[in-house]
Structure formats: C-alpha cells, structure tokens
Amino acid sequence: MSAQAQPNSFRTGPDERGHFGTFGGRFVAETLMPNILELEKAYEEARDDPSFHADMASYSTHYIGRPSPLYFAERMTEHLREVSTASGLSGGAKIYFKREELNHTGAHKVNNVLGQILLARRMGKKRIIAETGAGQHGVATATLCARFGLECIVYMGAVDVERQKPNVFRMNMLGAKVVPVQSGTKTLKDAMNEALRDWVTNVADTFYCIGTVAGPHPYPAMVRDFQCVIGTETREQMMQAEGRLPDSLVACIGGGSNAIGLFHPFLDDKDVEIYGVEAAGHGLSNLHAASLSGGRPGVLHGNRTYLLMNQDGQIADAHSISAGLDYPGIGPEHAWLHEMGRVHYISATDDEALAAFQLCSRLEGILPALEPAHALAKVIELAPQKPKDHLMVVNISGRGDKDLFQIAEHLGNQIV
Amino acid sequence: MAGLVPAIHAFNHGKDVDARDKCGHDDGGSASETEQVSPHLSPMLKTQPMTQRIEARFEKCRADGRAALVTYVMAGDPDPETSLEILRSLPKAGADIVEFGLPFTDPMADGPAIQAAGLRALKVGQDTVKTLGLIRRFRAEDSDTPVILMGYFNPIYVYGVDRFLVDAKEAGVDGLIVVDLPPEEDDELCLPALKAGLAFIRLATPTTDDKRLPAVLSNTAGFVYYVSITGITGAATPDFGKVATAVERIKRHTPLPVVVGFGVKSGAHAAAVAQGADGVVVGSALIDALKNTLDDQDRATVGTVEAVTKLVKELSDGVRSVAKRAAA
C-alpha cells in the first residue's frame, strides 16, 4: 500500500511543529498564533498535572458515565454468521460494540469537550465557541458550558440547523446561542470558518472548542488524547472479556475523532487490523464526503490534510446523509496513517448506512446514529469474511434519536 | 517618525533577503545565484530587482511628503474584464500600490464583503491561472505600480509552489500576502518566495506582542501590513489613536514601511490612519461600492468601475490631506 519507511512507533506524533509526516501544521492568521501557542502551553502543563487528570477522571465517571460498556452484539454476530454460511464461508466474526452512544449527551463528543472545558477553566476563558455539524459536538459543548456556567456560542451551517432540529432545540434548552451560518455551502466547513472568524475577533476572552481531530496544532493531538479513553477502555475490557486483544477495529470517519480515539491505543499492535469508514454519500463518483478515497492533500482550517477540492484548490461541496460526516477534509493524523498504510480507509454510501441502521435497530435494540451506521455497514461486509474466532470491535459513536426525522423522510415515513 | 530612506538602505543590505544578489543586480550577486532565478524572468523583469517597484513607490510617496494608498479588489469580481478595468483605473484614481485578491472558497479571515466577492469571482470561473493572466495584462500597460497578490495558501499549494512563484514573477507580481501562513510555516512559501525574488509581506496584528514581533518581521520584505483590529476584514472601525501607537511600536523593530488596513472605509478614516502610518489599505469598502452597482444577476453595470474609482479618489484625497515630514 505504501512505499514509505515504517516508523518504530505509530504513536509518537506529532512533532513539535504539529506535523504527522507532512500533514498537520499551523496554517492560521497571525492574529490567532499567540492564542494557539498559549493553548499549546496550557495543554502541555495540564497534561503533566495529576490534578487535571484527577478532575477528568472524576467527571468522566460521575457526569459522563464512563467507562462505556464493551457489549457483545450477539444477534448481529449470529445474523452475519448466517450470511457467512450462506455464502459458503462458514465464518463470521464475533462482534463487539463499544457503546459510546451511552455517554451523557449521547455520543463520544463529550469526552473531548470535557477535556477542553476543564482546560478553558484553567486558562480563565469565560466565553466558549464551537462549530457543529450533526449537533452532537454542539450539544456536548452546550452541556458542559451549562455545567460550569460558561457563555456558549455554537456555529452551525444553516442546512444542518434544518436537518438536525432536535439538537438545535437541545442546545437552546442548555442555554447556548446557536448561530445558523449562511455562508458558503452552509454546512460544517462553513461553521468552522465562522467559528474561526469569531475567534479572530474575540481572541482575548474566547476559547475555541474544536470538535474533531482537525484544525491547527495542538488541536489534532489534544482532541485525540481526550478521545483515547475509548481505545484504552476497549483494550482493558476486551482483555477481561476474551483474555486477548481484538483482531480488528472499525469506526466511522468525518474529521475522525471517534476513530482515532479507538485506534490510537492499538496502532502499535501490528496484528490488529484497523478500518476507518468514510462517507461515500451518493457514491464515490457522485457527491460524497470521503476525503481520503476521493481527495488529495491541501491546506484548510489550519492544517494540511486530504481535502475534496477542484483543480484550482477550491474546496468542493461534500455530501453525506449524516451531517456529522459531511466535511470535505479529515484529521491530519488519519491522512498520515493512510499514507503509511497502517489503517485501511474504506467508505460506505448513504444507502448502505441506512440499511445498517435498520438492521442494528431490529437485531440489537440499539438505534445507532447515522455516523456509526456507516461503520456498521462495513462490519456487515467484513465480518462474514472473517473466521468465527475473529474479535471485531465497532465504535457506536452516537445514538440515532437525533436522526429519526431524517431517516423517516428517507424511508418514506412521516413522524407525526 | 522614522523615515523611509534608512528603511530602504537597511533592507537592501539585510542578510536574509538580499534581493539585489538574487536578481542579478550588479552589486555583488554571485553568478550561480543569478542563474537560479533569471532563466524564468522576462527581459523586462531582469532589470527589476525584487521589491524595486515597491521601494520606488514608497520613496516617491515619501518625497511627496505623504502616506501611500494601497487598494484591494478581488480578481474576477464581478467578471474578469471588469476587474481588470478596475485594476487599471486604480493608479489613475490615486492608488499607489494595488492588491489583487486571489479568490478562495473558504476565506477564514475575511468578512462578508470579501467572502461574497470571492464567490462571485469563482462563480464566473476565476482561478489562479486566470488571475495571473489578468496581472500580466495589467503589467503590460503599467510597469511601475506594485502589484500584491493576496489570498489563502491552498490554491497556491495546489498550483505547486515552485511553478506558482515562477509564473507569478513572470506575470509581474511584486509581492504576496497569504493570510494563513504565519512565521511558523515560513518553509512553505515565504522562504521560497524570497528566493524567487518575490516579497512576502507579513501581517502584524494587535495580538503580535514585542516578543513575537521579531519572528513576524524576520523574513518579511516590501512592507509590513498592520492589521488594525482583532477581527475580520470590513468589520469594526479601529481606534485610530491606538493604531498610531501600534505603528510606532512596529517601526521600532523594522526599517520597512508599515501600512495599516482593516476597517478603513472613508477619506476621513484614510486621513486619520495616514497620520501615523506609511500607507493605508482599503479593501472591503471598495468591494461594497462595487457590489452596490451590480444588477440582480451580480453583473457589472455602466457605473461599476466609476463607483470604485470615485471612492479611491476620495481616499486618495484623504491620504494627500495629511502632510508628513520628510525622513528624519
């Protein structure tokens, strides 16, 4: 897959300038640089401070409800074994769900927001801004701002405001101000532009709580560190359940924070296969949001990474049924892992995700969000090809309640 | 106030960015350095060392005892030919240096006016190749007015940095302002640009403290662009008293001219900024003037070019109303 030299470890990045190979960096306006350097210093201090970790652990347990369970998805496993048998393979991996959808606020996003809000408190910042796509990061940010009495402004593309109404209402109830962004394509990338414009304007008192492993250094590394609790718990839980590590990991990727959180603690376990699932939208030859499969390296939102764009470097419209994956870029560490060949990046279409959503709901009694439904769509493909003793973990990164109106519309139903 | 003569003197002998060496000037460039760049240059440009046009223009303004007027319009807005006509009319209306915006879909440091201008240009098919083409045509008729290309890094990165620098230089570009390239990313474009004989003009901002200023000024050339507010283009009007203090602070660190932009909308604003700065930059106000003349399909009308030049004349009068002392 790649001719590049393999490093001794995949877990040491980024370098001091925020680079994962050639990806990452700090491509921001000068106005923001002092803030970004201040943030980097504050984060490094917090990372070395046991009291910060003690606070994180305490709120994780009592407020978020961690650890999230690692659940044996027995009926999904049985179903896919039948599929395997029907195709003459008589295999079918044993499937585990990492239940991030059971976290307070219903998604993995809160792990990162807790870390950043505790950091903002240390830094004395009283005004928090965030961008959001599906609204899960916005809800998590609004929640922790309410908990700690901080002002919260969430930028959300006007198109996303329309398709994620329940989350907009949740944010309002939590006291946050949701600003619909009318510029550009009115989705996540434009929300991020607008949040950056706010930050440039209000640098002195404002903390920008980025929701994924993108943006200028130190965000990709910091957000990853806060999300690594997912993979760290999974290691321990799988050792307890099966006495060994899993054989494969599967997670969906928009910016890629739930995926890197699950993957990172396993990157140096070379026998663990890792699959990242991008959103193929209407298919890779049509409108989609699969930056690695359909994009190439460029610079946007503070970092160099794979982007969907035209020949002139103009950012292209992304499309996914899932607002949380509807972004024309991907975190720089994923871009690097892709080029190194350590993680297999594949994609699932809107239709495949919808089918997986329905299957998971019926078989397991769990309504996954449309984002992890993309990961499940590939589990449905991969698991029947694996032997029965293959342990496969899929990250159920969020719950599907927020998507019900949209799913109903796609399936031709009406919710009264 | 520090004058411009020492600035130019110090610049030409700065060890990091000695333009004359690089471009084959006869004061000591080595043959190999000369050959590195010269093959790509047109015959005319071989006699134009890096930033010479910029230096000459500031020198002329200083001789006139006034600040320079720097104007920004977007390439291809509302269509390529109109934007070229505007560009050509700017020096006649009183602009000393022209900035041409390179359109980008995601201009994260720009306000609504410039965002919309970029999208208008992209809608009619403007791109980097065509933008350089317009500059080439401008340069064919005007060999003196410095042209600064201003935008974001991605279109340049995708074009290919080396190829871009050759083509930009050949088209007649004198300097680059790339908003999302702070000193931390100098390897990307700043250093290659200096090597290729293009000025990389840095933005200094109210958040750039004394500790950071030397890094911001280290590889900059041509002039320093002081962003008068913490914010996006075309938004707040700055406190002009604070701006003057900030300019003085920057001038303690650099011999380069310091120009001020963001929030300058009228002749009176321009005059206020001209008190303390070596130049005044106006962008969003010109784009607003342009936009107000467009029809409901965003097409130019008979009044489009004149609406821009009329405001430029007012700004020029504002700049010229402030007499400045000659160099100390």
Q: How far apart are CA B95 and CA B282, in angstroms?
A: 10
* Whether the Cβ atoms of residue B234 and residue B113 lie closer than 8 Å to each other: yes
B4-320: CATH number: 3.20.20.70
Q: Look at residue B327 and tell me whether its pLDDT is greater than 70.
A: no
Q: How far apart are CA A376 and CA B23, in angstroms?
A: 60
Q: How far apart are CA A54 and CA A70, in angstroms?
A: 23
Q: How far apart are CA A386 and CA B312, in angstroms?
A: 70
Q: Is the dihedral of CA B146, B165, B205, A214 positive or negative?
A: positive
Return the closest-CA partner of residue A142 out of A106, A120, A170.
A170
Return the closest-CA partner of residue A371 out of A154, A193, A211, A191.
A211
What pLDDT is attached to residue B312? 98
Active site residue B314: no
Q: Is the dihedral of CA B280, B283, B288, B293 positive or negative?
A: positive
Active site residue A131: yes
Read off the CATH number of the domain in which A137 is found.
3.40.50.1100
Query: Distance from first CA to last CA of chain A, Å, rounded?
Result: 50
Domain ranges of chain B: 4-320
Same domain, A203 and A253: no
Q: How far apart are CA A186 and CA A131, in angstroms?
A: 12
Same domain, A149 and A260: no
Same domain, A58 and A121: yes
Same domain, A298 and A393: yes
What DSSP letter does each residue of A284-346 carry, written as one string? TTSS---HHHH-EEEEETEEEEEE-B-TTSPBPPP--SSGGG--S---HHHHHHHHHTSSEEE
Chosen domain end from A224, A243, A263: A224
Question: A261-270, A335-344, B35-44, B162-171: lowest mean pLDDT where?
Answer: B35-44
**Could you report the average pLDDT of every consecutive run of 10 residues in chain A (416 residues)?**
75 96 97 95 98 98 98 98 97 98 97 98 97 94 98 96 89 98 90 95 95 98 98 98 98 97 98 98 94 96 98 94 91 98 98 98 98 98 98 98 90 74
* Whether the Cβ atoms of residue A231 and residue A262 lie closer than 8 Å to each other: yes
What pLDDT is attached to residue B324? 76
Q: B112 to chain A: which residues are within 8 Å by CB?
A: 183
Residue corresponding to tokens 């019926």: A362
Residue of B nearest to A304 (CA): B154
* Whether the Cβ atoms of residue A384 and residue A91 lie closer than 8 Å to each other: yes
How close B205 gets to chain A, by Cα (Å)?
A: 6
What pLDDT is attached to residue A416? 56
Same domain, A173 and A239: no
Same domain, A400 and A317: yes
Q: Look at residue B45 and tell me whether its pLDDT is greater than 80.
A: no
Identity of the residue in B111, B155, B206 whose CB atom sits nearest the CB atom of A313: B155
Same domain, A136 and A171: yes
What pLDDT is attached to residue B11? 38
Indicate the average pLDDT of chain B.
86
Segment B262-266 long-range contacts (CB within 8 Å, at least 24 positions apart)? B262/B227, B262/B228, B262/B229, B262/B231, B262/B233, B262/B234, B262/B235, B262/B238, B263/B228, B263/B229, B263/B231, B263/B234, B263/B235, B263/B236, B263/B237, B263/B238, B264/B228, B264/B315, B265/B237, B266/B314, B266/B315, B266/B318
| DSSP designation for B308 | H
Chain B from 158 to 217: CB within 8 A of any A CB? 158-159, 179-185, 202-209, 212, 216
Residue of B nearest to A185 (CA): B105
Burial A269-307 (b: 16+ CB within 10 A, else e): eeebbbbbbbbbbeeeeebbbbbbbbbebbbbbbbbbbb
Residue B33 banded pLDDT, cuts 50, 70, 90: very low
Residue A6 falls inside a structural domain:
no
A116 SS3 class: helix
Using alpha carbons only, what angle is made at residue A227 by residues A387 and A49, rounded to the nearest 5 degrees? Answer: 135
What values do phi and psi take at A260, rounded to 5?
-65, -30
**Residue B239: CB atoms within 10 Å:** 13
Same domain, A288 and A397: yes
Residue corresponding to tokens 């640009």: B193
Q: Look at residue B87 and tell me whether its pLDDT is greater than 70.
A: yes
Active site residue A109: yes
Identify which has the larger pLDDT, B14 or A69. A69
Q: B118 to chain A: which residues are within 8 Å by CB?
A: none
Same domain, A146 and A289: no
Residue A207 falls inside a structural domain:
yes
Q: At what angle do helices B80-93 and B304-320 cross, to 10 degrees?
A: 30
* Whether the Cβ atoms of residue A411 and residue A272 lie closer than 8 Å to each other: no
Burial bucket for residue A7 (CB in 10 Å: 0-12, 13-18, 19+): middle
What values do phi and psi take at A18, rounded to 5?
80, 25
User: Which residues pair with residue A107 across a beta bridge?
Assistant: A398
Return the closest-CA partner of residue B259 out of B228, B213, B215, B217.
B228
Give pTM, 2 decimals: 0.91
B157 SS3 class: helix
Return the closest-CA partner of residue A160 out of A197, A194, A129, A191.
A191
Per-residue pLDDT of B48-57, as tens digits, reads 456 899 999 9
**Residue A342: CB atoms within 10 Å:** 18
By residue range, what is the domain housing residue A171? 19-63+108-224
Strands (E), A55-205: 70-72, 94-98, 127-132, 151-157, 177-181
What values do phi and psi take at A2, rounded to 5?
-145, 140
What pLDDT is attached to residue B182? 96
Q: Does A303 touch chain B (CB under 8 A)?
A: no
Same domain, A236 and A273: yes
* Whether the Cβ atoms of residue B52 and residue B8 lie closer than 8 Å to each other: no
Q: How far apart are CA A208 and CA A200, in angstroms?
A: 10
Residue of A109, A125, A386, A402 with catalytic role: A109
Residue B325 banded pLDDT, cuts 50, 70, 90: low
Cα-based distances in Å from B135 to A15, A98, A284, B168, B178? 39, 57, 37, 9, 17
Residue of B nearest to A307 (CA): B154
Identity of the residue in B119, B155, B202 whose CB atom sits nearest the CB atom of A312: B155
Mean pLDDT over B16-34 rounds to 38
* Whether the Cβ atoms of residue B287 and residue B74 lie closer than 8 Å to each other: yes
Per-residue pLDDT of B253-300, as tens digits, reads 999 999 999 999 999 999 999 999 999 999 999 999 999 999 999 999
Please, which residues have CB within 8 angstroms of residue B217's CB and are 6 or more apart in sequence?
A: B202, B204, B224, B250, B253, B254, B256
Burial A370-390 (b: 16+ CB within 10 A, else e): bbbbbbbbbbbbbbbebeeeb
Residue of B96, B110, B167, B288 with catalytic role: B110
What pLDDT is attached to residue B243? 93
**Is the bond preceding residue A332 a cis peptide, omega within 30 degrees?**
no
What pLDDT is attached to residue A256? 97
Residue A3 falls inside a structural domain:
no
Same domain, A81 and A139: no
Q: Does A127 touch chain B (CB under 8 A)?
A: no
Q: With CB atoms and an 8 Å threshold, state whether A33 touches B207.
A: yes
Residue of B nearest to A181 (CA): B112
Number of structural domains in chain A: 2
Pairing of strands A70-72, A94-98: antiparallel
Residue B17 banded pLDDT, cuts 50, 70, 90: very low
* Whether the Cβ atoms of residue A346 and residue A275 lie closer than 8 Å to each other: yes
Residue of A40, A101, A131, A233 with catalytic role: A131
CB pairs under 8 A between A and B: 122
Predicted ipTM beyond 0.85: yes
What pLDDT is attached to residue B46? 39
Same domain, A128 and A196: yes
Q: A312 to chain B: which residues are within 8 Å by CB?
A: 127-129, 155, 158-159
Query: Distance from first CA to last CA of chain B, Å, rounded?
Result: 7
**Residue B297: CB atoms within 10 Å:** 6
Identify which has the larger pLDDT, A133 or B107. B107
Residue A86 falls inside a structural domain:
yes
